[in-house]
Structure 1
Amino acid sequence: MDATGAVTRAVAQFAATHLDPGADVCVGLSGGPDSLALIACAVRAGLSVRALVVDHALQDGSDDVAADAAQTARGLGAHATVLPVQVGWTGGPEAAAREARYAALDDARDGAPVLLAHTADDQAETVLLGLARGSGARSIAGMRPWNPPWGRPLLGIRRAQTLAACTELGLRPHHDPHNRDPRFTRVRLRAEVLPLLDDVLHGGVVEALGRTASSVRADNEALDELAADRYRSVVGDDGLDAAGIRGLPAAVRTRVVRRWLLEIGATEPTHRVICAVDDLVTDERSRAQVAVGGDPSARRVVVRAGQRLTARLVER
């Protein structure tokens, strides 16, 4: 099997569809098989590549791993930069590391798009997590192939193919022990749940979950456009016009609510928060206060004022 050819074609097709001809790109490189195959095949596809190697400093010797990955990238014909970061604890270790990584990549990309090595297997895990958490269609839609500046050319490529590509090219990827640690939910999905589903359903589960994500994402984009059209007529300096959206289908109405919450400075609104604010829209008698964020000194709440929803700060 020509895994290198499959990965290279995926990168070339992504570039032809989403990037300007001759555009410089960055690649988020961990040194693992997925990102190593991505950077090697991006160079083979004719792209001008700069590797951004984030050192999370969460394991002994992480600086050596990052330096080795950068040196491998240079040997493949890419430029490379190591980005040391400090990882906090907000949201747990996985979320904190992800936040630090994306911030470092964004700061270092210098206006260029960043290609990330998420594969079809990563997409399937994301969809399963969304289903299990009941977090709505936006989560089930998974990761977008192109969400500027982030590009994911390998969402149609299996993890086994990236590993095979590294073998074909004589590359020796780093295998992060965290990716085998069962304390992490994604690791158990990868090692236990997806193989079991494949066994019970006679294969094809990763591909089926990827198709589900693509279908739901297309529906989401259509509904988001409908919500955006209505949003402009129901939001003003004095808040959100509840009467103006009460009769909308729930799928459109809750999208208007979510967009307004983001505009007023709410932290990333969860499904529960969006539904609670939507209850204020549909129940004209409600006098509830819905907490949507804030800081240690005050919390931000949404309340009904006549036919409008408004946000205010309440001291703690």
Structure 2
Amino acid sequence: MAKTPQALHAARRVVGEALDPQGLNLVACSGGADSLALAVAASWHHHRTSGPSAQTRVGAVVVDHHIHPRSVEISGQAVRQLKALGLDPVRIYPATVDTDSPDGPEAAARTGRYAAFRRAMRELGATRLLTAHTRDDQAEQVLLGLARGSGTRSLAGIPAVRGPYRRPLLQLTRADTEAICRHAELSWWQDPANQDPRYLRSRIRTQIMPYLEEHLSAGIREALARTAEIAADDADHLETEAKRLFPQLMEDPDPSGALRLRLHPLRTASAAIRRRVLALGVVAAGGAHPSSERLAAVERLTTGSRSAGPVQCEGGVSVYRGTRGSAEYGKLVFVPPTSTVPSPA
């Protein structure tokens, strides 16, 4: 076998840092070059008999979305290669994809995929699941965030850690993962959807990013990935500050479950902190994280809008401002979806 490529040394190092030495780790594998390269690096730790990663257990889960007509064949090939690497257990899990989802096919596939991940972790007793997002994916995600105008957290791109999920290859490129697969003599599948311009991410990958590299900067991918790192640090700090302030503003919930935040200190907080506190209030009342549009509407209640609401947020939570003369004057009220607390007219 040829000399071990530098990319594989780097992959082994970052994967080793992501693995749980005390539990079962699962590699999420689609059969593509990125996830197979992740499996190669993880298998090195799986087979080690000495050092920090000795006795580390690594298996794999292959999610079949049943979208491509060759999905069964592709999943089977991935399983054979994963087993040849010595990973254990290796399982195929089907994903249920809502083809009529209003969020579009890419979001629907992701939702189905992560539901399959959760099931696999539960049934196999895994403590961590590793996905193979690369620096190229990160750069594309930042461009998507810019297009959506979703703020700092969106510009932070793909998080390296979220709950039990780890994404150790964010510093490696697709060229790196292909070099690792060639070194390991693995055959990878190239999903034609990745080149289909009907999908926004594919359009960014095949048309927009090459255009930016040619006409703006050859290092645009590295610059966007660097932007994600900086934005992630900024977003983490702001969210920490918001979580510190939130309980200081919140009054004890009443029996209905409604939450009340004191308005004056909320108004004096910086806009960046205030928006995050408001989002925390919606979630704490039983809703989902509000969209930027809904969040802006709630913020207007706090900064002097003539309307006292209510503003309807994701998950059925409504938010209103207490009116003059009422017991709730000077407070912002978050009404849970199942509550009968009245809102102002």
Match of 1:81 among 64, 88, 91: 91
Partner of 1:101: 113
Q: What is the CA distance between 1:311 and its match in structure 2?
A: 3.2
Q: What is the CA distance between 1:201 and its match in structure 2?
A: 2.7
Match of 1:153 among 132, 144, 168: 168
Q: Where do 5+ consecutive residues of structure 1 fail to align?
A: none
Counterpart secondary structure, 1:53: strand
Q: What is the CA distance between 1:265 and its match in structure 2?
A: 2.4
Q: What is the CA distance between 1:132 and its match in structure 2?
A: 1.1
Taking a change above 3 Å as real, the CA distance of residues 60 and 208 of structure 1, as seen in their structure-2 partners, is same
Distance 1:292 1:191 in 2: 36
Q: What is the CA distance between 1:263 and its match in structure 2?
A: 1.6
Tell me if structure 1 keeps the 8 A contact 2:12–2:44.
Answer: no
Distance 2:154 2:219 in 1: 21
Q: What is the CA distance between 1:103 and its match in structure 2?
A: 1.2
Counterpart secondary structure, 1:83: strand
Larger deviation: 282-291 or 162-171? 282-291
Amino acid at match of 2:273: V
Partner of 1:252: 273
Taking a change above 3 Å as real, the CA distance of residues 2 and 199 of structure 1, as seen in their structure-2 partners, is farther
TM-score for the superposition, normalised by structure 1: 0.92
Distance 1:39 1:242 in 2: 51
Larger radius of gyration: 2
Distance 1:154 1:108 in 2: 22
Match of 1:263 among 263, 268, 284: 284
| 1:143 to 2:158 alignment | yes
| 1:70 to 2:87 alignment | no
Larger deviation: 72-81 or 260-269? 260-269
Distance 2:224 2:314 in 1: 33
Taking a change above 3 Å as real, the CA distance of residues 76 and 169 of structure 1, as seen in their structure-2 partners, is same
Q: What is the CA distance between 1:217 and its match in structure 2?
A: 0.7
Residues 205-236 of structure 1, C-alpha deviations (whole Å, 9 max, x = no match): 11111111101111111111111111111123
Partner of 1:54: 63
Counterpart secondary structure, 2:265: helix
Residues 31-86 of structure 1, C-alpha deviations (whole Å, 9 max, x = no match): 01110111011112445321110011112121221122111100111121000122
| 1:302 to 2:311 alignment | no
TM-score for the superposition, normalised by structure 2: 0.84
Match of 2:218 among 199, 203, 208: 203
| Identity percentage of aligned residues | 37
Residues 111-168 of structure 1, C-alpha deviations (whole Å, 9 max, x = no match): 4211000000000010001011111011001111122211011101011111122122
Match of 2:263 among 242, 250, 253: 242
Taking a change above 3 Å as real, the CA distance of residues 122 and 155 of structure 1, as seen in their structure-2 partners, is same
Taking a change above 3 Å as real, the CA distance of residues 195 and 2 of structure 1, as seen in their structure-2 partners, is farther
Q: Where do 5+ consecutive residues of structure 2 fail to align?
A: 47-55, 254-258, 323-328, 341-345
Distance 2:197 2:97 in 1: 21
Taking a change above 3 Å as real, the CA distance of residues 3 and 277 of structure 1, as seen in their structure-2 partners, is farther
Tell me if structure 2 keeps the 8 A contact 1:12–1:42.
Answer: no
- The alignment covers a number of residue pairs equal to 310
Amino acid at match of 2:62: V
Distance 1:290 1:126 in 2: 30
Distance 1:44 1:269 in 2: 42
Taking a change above 3 Å as real, the CA distance of residues 255 and 57 of structure 1, as seen in their structure-2 partners, is same
Larger deviation: 151-160 or 233-242? 233-242
Amino acid at match of 2:210: P
Taking a change above 3 Å as real, the CA distance of residues 147 and 4 of structure 1, as seen in their structure-2 partners, is farther
Amino acid at match of 2:211: L
CA RMSD of aligned residues (A): 2.1
